[in-house]
Structure 1
């Protein structure tokens, strides 16, 4: 008998010395044991991935994953081993129902982290969308918290508007001066070519407009430089506040966030919804398979030998109980006789 077969017998919870006497039952318990073993292995992988998303450390993930896998393996082994084949089908089903419920719960717990891994790309895309929205919301909130920047920007725009208006007036006077020199007839020009009295007046107006523009630019430039300095300081403070928030947004990829993303994806896509359901049902089928095998399989020679072994233990215990009681009564009778005690 090879070691793999014995190992799967152990996984199935069967008693190997009795099972070796029933060769027709060996393959059934090898299959049951293999299912229990691989369920525990999948549970270890599933828990390892889930814990890796929490701790981001392969050593923690491997350690806790192995512990979780061994716990699930032990529970499955106990569930299968505790089920006994009787001649009463209803009694067997009553015994199996709580075990089936527990197996379904284990299957759901095991399948969820693996679903996160299977749909990892889609979940990452959804998380990126969520992070982008969070960044936009954070920036809007910070803008509301630093409303002084908007006020300073408005003052700066007002100064720019005044300079633009003065520039437009200077350009208008320049155009009228050019029209006057070249004899272009308009409502504000004489239409006489040359540098006449009208042209000289326009030139004087142009000189005044240019001086006013230069003075206005110089004065407003100092004010705008001061505003730019204040805006720069406040912007730096706002960026510093955002830099504090940024790591939390970048780290928004934990287990809870991925579960939420998976739920959103299943609501948005029917294909992912049914794929999610099918994966979960697959694990439910794997987890409950050993129990159903026990239920639907007929009572075999192994069950007969197991009942016989238990009966022998029970008979032996009853015999020892009777012998112990008789011996105790004899000892009491000898003691009473030796000491003259009458009952």
Structure 2
């Protein structure tokens, strides 16, 4: 197997010249010399040892992404968008499934350090946990996605950026849409273990029903997943919760699902019980995953501007890696309603 000295000998240049090419320092090099080195690398089938380069520089052209579970469609879409944004900047993504478990999160942070990763996007995790603050003190740049920190977190000295959809506005928007379409018995259906973002969506839901004088007509219906938080089983949980919805008296005519995956499962369970959607019960989700437009009826959903949010996350991550003195900030994005066919149209006869 060829090494850097073989390439230098084959091209008739010094080892330092080959090293300059490998490390992107060829701007002052004659084009003929650069071409000879590239040709020698190709003819010798030489591939630089990226691990050795990383050890030498202490850096890696990688960013980290920690998600609760790639099985959850919302986090699968997030992963795709982060990967696209990173590749556009010649970075790769090191992915970790944490299942929101502290030991998994800590182990992955240690892995990131070991691989020379300097920046990590952490999705939907409790960022007040001490291992995140410890990692930040050791120099790891982090962006917190979809889990806004409390205002008094870390004594007002938040060490990472926060990027989130306005989940209070999302819950409010979903409830407002159902009310505008004539629904009066409202329910918010969710997994029982509340995260910050889930709690904010419920807060927005109740703010809308209060404004319309429907507080006595609104309730939360929840179910416990087999695994904590339910990230890997939202569709199945939604299907199971259909029976609980139908046991309510009076029965809801409008439902906000905590996310699209649960909403799709819920619609399946309601259809199995002979309920017509949206004629009998309207359903709206939150997230706007690609599958929402493919089920029948297509699911109305509240959408985060994910592409724009990911662009901000990656840009902030790389900017703060380059300049650690940049003060972390909070970036809150407004949601948008995507209307389809799972909510009744009260204007139709």
TM-score of the superposition, structure 1-length normalised?
Answer: 0.23
The structure that is strand-richer by fraction is 2
Give the number of the structure whose residues are more often helix, by fraction: 1
Greater relative contact order: 1 or 2 (C-alpha under 8 angstroms, separation 6 or more)?
Answer: 1
Q: Which has the larger radius of gyration?
A: 1
